[in-house]
Amino acid sequence: MWHLNLSIDGDARETLSAQLRNALRGRITDGTLRPGTRVPSTRQLATDLGVSRTVVVEAYEQLCAEGYLTSQRGSGTSVADSAHADVASALTADEAPAPEVWDLRAGGTDVSMFPRQDWIRSVSSVLRSAGPRELGYAPPSGLPPVRRTLAGYLGRVRGVRVRPEHLMITSGFAQGLALLCRVLRDQGHEAIGVEDPGHPGEWAFIADAGLRPVGVPVDREGIRVDELAATGVRAVLTTPASQFPTGAPLSRRRREHLVDWARAVDGYVVEDDFDAAFVAPAQRMPALQSVAPDRVVYAGSASKVLAPALRLGWLAAPTGLAGSIERVRAGWDIGCSGLDQLAFARLVDTGAFDRHLRRLRAEFQRRGQAVRQHVVRHLPGVAPLDASGGLQTYLVLPRWCAEESMVAAARRRSVLVRGGRFYALRADDRPPALVIGYAGVRGAELGRGLAGVAAAYRDVTARHATDVNVRRVADSDRRTGLTA
């Protein structure tokens, strides 16, 4: 397997993902990487560069969206055949700087709202009181006082029922999922159910851990438990609070059926609660784990509610899994930053975390409402799905509107979006869709991005109308010829 000769600087102002993205784009535009050239897997390149795999995944996804790379399930990632043609036609040596790009892809968050001053106060407080124990290696499963604080908080806010010693602090949700999949594989599981549509990044982590992701359809009530039962799997990953990416909450009826299913097959439900904080309190149901702590593995992280850079997550596992997960974790790494754990616990204990979440939830709800209003006014025939909250809006397009055409038209308008099939594990006849993420853009930027989407829709609509008229004329000519 060949290696890319790239270097990135951890001390640079630019993010690692942006550095990698720019370096790869440069190699493609200068002809070093030719069309069809396979690039290393995300895991290999992350190892070569000494960075998180997430850094490489984000860079590859961005370059795929820009048309420089192409990725096919089972075939890896390679330089797109059209990359050099696109670059040659779009860029010249004396051209003015490229226009601003509005990124409306789902999956991000607004780090500009990070509670910087509260965090500084928390860190300062921790440093003033930190002794040898706090400055040493933290236990792999997390510092006991932090686990106590978090267990209390999750119980108060989400109804989670977990003893602190069964709550593990992880380096984000991805690590928790990887640990869990490793344990499930060791226990004889070969596959795990996943929501379809869902999160492709999570499917990759599952596959890397040696399990096979099996798609389970989703509708307006959440995951289809009847379809899940037909797959034969004994574990499933789901987002009950607000399904990603449709935003549909798991209905009370489905919650009961899902727990019944887990007990019937002696299996587990993995509850990804990543965006429950953004669901309106009046609509928010307690965590599924609160109903069946013996069958539900509860997982969350600080990535969306604070910042991905913190790399803090948590995993509340049933007694039958907790010990095995701890043993795997002990041989995996030496734990997360103890100081960051303590600073986070301080943020929770002082109430600053709750205040921050209230501000964040109100802001994201305003943005979600703005997206839905814009769609109703400017995208006739497009239907936004009702959602309990979340950080994105799922738009169902008219049957005649190919989502690939919409994504391409939006890109020509300097707007990055993804179609519904990007989030689909299986090819089927589901209606075309567009997913608008609004967490990473705010104010005027969001408005300009939405205006670009509306303009792209007008472009696609006009082309469709022209095609229809051409077909009508051709049909009329054929009929006239037959009767002449």
Query: β-strands 76-79, 69-72: how paired?
Result: antiparallel
Q: Is the per-residue pLDDT at 229 higher than 90?
A: yes
CA distances from 190 to 175, 194, 329 (A): 19, 13, 20
Mean pLDDT across 230-243: 96
Q: What is the CATH number of the domain that holds 402?
A: 3.90.1150.10
Q: Which residues of 241-322 form beta strands (DSSP E)?
A: 268-272, 296-301, 313-316
Q: Is the per-residue pLDDT at 264 higher than 80?
A: yes
Is residue 7 a part of any domain in this protein?
Answer: no
Mark whether 348 and 394 lie in a shared domain.
no
Mean pLDDT across 363-390: 91
pLDDT at 457: 96
Nearest to 149 by CA among 122, 114, 115, 179: 122
pLDDT at 472: 59
Mark whether 311 and 361 lie in a shared domain.
no
Q: Is the per-residue pLDDT at 87 higher than 60?
A: no
Is residue 107 a part of any domain in this protein?
Answer: no
Q: What is the CATH number of the domain that holds 291?
A: 3.40.640.10
**H runs (alpha helix) in 30-52:** 42-49
Q: Tabulate helix, strand, coil % of the chain (nearest 5).
A: 50, 15, 35
pLDDT at 88: 38
- Cβ atoms of 257 and 206 closer than 8 Å: no
Which contiguous run of DSSP H or E holds residue 143? none
Is residue 8 a part of any domain in this protein?
Answer: no
Residue 450 burial (10 A CB sphere; 0-12, 13-18, 19+): buried
Q: Is the per-residue pLDDT at 13 higher than 70?
A: no
pLDDT at 113: 93
Mark whether 187 and 322 lie in a shared domain.
yes
Q: Give the Cα separation of 464 and 460 in Å (integer).
A: 6
Q: Give the Cα separation of 170 and 326 in Å (integer).
A: 11
Mark whether 165 and 260 lie in a shared domain.
yes
Mark whether 78 and 177 lie in a shared domain.
no
The backbone torsions φ and ψ at residue 213, rounded to the nearest 5 degrees and listed phi first, read: -75, 130
pLDDT at 381: 95
pLDDT at 52: 82
Q: Is the per-residue pLDDT at 460 higher than 50?
A: yes
Is residue 363 a part of any domain in this protein?
Answer: yes
Chain position carrying tokens 């209905």: 251
Last residue of a domain, one of 352, 372, 403: 352
Mark whether 81 and 195 lie in a shared domain.
no
Last residue of a domain, one of 50, 68, 98: 98
Nearest to 298 by CA among 279, 263, 273: 273
User: Of 28-37, 57-66, 91-100, 423-432, which one has max mean pLDDT?
Assistant: 423-432
- Cβ atoms of 193 and 225 closer than 8 Å: no
Q: Is the per-residue pLDDT at 463 higher than 50?
A: yes
Nearest to 395 by CA among 426, 373, 412: 373
Q: What is the pLDDT of residues 124-183, one digit of tens each?
A: 999 999 988 888 888 889 999 999 999 999 999 999 999 999 999 999 999 999 999 999
Is residue 104 a part of any domain in this protein?
Answer: no
Mark whether 348 and 467 lie in a shared domain.
no
The count of other CB atoms within 10 Å of the CB of residue 346 is 22
Mark whether 216 and 332 lie in a shared domain.
yes
Phi-psi region of 266 (alpha: psi -120 to 50; beta: other; left: phi over 0): left
Q: Which of 129-138, 171-180, 222-231, 343-352 has the lowest mean pLDDT?
A: 129-138
Reported as a pLDDT band with limits 50, 70 and 90, residue 64 is confident
Chain position carrying tokens 């008229």: 469
3-state secondary structure 68-114: CEEEECCCEEEECCCHHHHHHHHCCCCCCCCCCCEECCCCCCCHHHC
Domain that holds residue 67: 16-98
pLDDT at 443: 79
pLDDT at 475: 57
Q: What is the pLDDT of residues 468-481, one digit of tens each?
A: 555 555 555 466 65
Q: What is the CATH number of the domain that holds 55?
A: 1.10.10.10
Mark whether 395 and 444 lie in a shared domain.
yes
pLDDT at 85: 40
Task: Specify the number of domains making up the chain.
Answer: 3
Reported as a pLDDT band with limits 50, 70 and 90, residue 292 is very high
Residue 411, helix vs strand vs coil: helix
- Cβ atoms of 280 and 389 closer than 8 Å: yes
Mark whether 332 and 365 lie in a shared domain.
no
Residue 237, beta-bridge partner list: 194, 270
Is residue 402 a part of any domain in this protein?
Answer: yes
pLDDT at 55: 81
Average pLDDT, the chain: 87
Mark whether 207 and 333 lie in a shared domain.
yes
Last residue of a domain, one of 352, 370, 400: 352
Q: What is the pLDDT of residues 211-220, one digit of tens each?
A: 999 999 999 9
Reported as a pLDDT band with limits 50, 70 and 90, residue 86 is very low
Half-sphere CA count of 388, side-chain side, radius 13 A = 22
Which contiguous run of DSSP H or E holds residue 374? helix 352-378
For 153-167, b where at least 16 C-beta lie within 10 A, e where not — what string? bbeebbebbbebebb
CA 301 to chain centre: 12
Is residue 1 a part of any domain in this protein?
Answer: no
Q: Is the per-residue pLDDT at 323 higher than 80?
A: yes
Is residue 3 a part of any domain in this protein?
Answer: no
pLDDT at 4: 61
Nearest to 404 by CA among 380, 433, 374, 383: 433
Mark whether 136 and 253 lie in a shared domain.
yes
Amino acid identity, position 17: S
The count of other CB atoms within 10 Å of the CB of residue 446 is 20
Give the contacts of 415 (CB within 8 A, at least 6 positions apart): 101, 102, 104, 449, 452, 453, 456
CA 465 to chain centre: 35
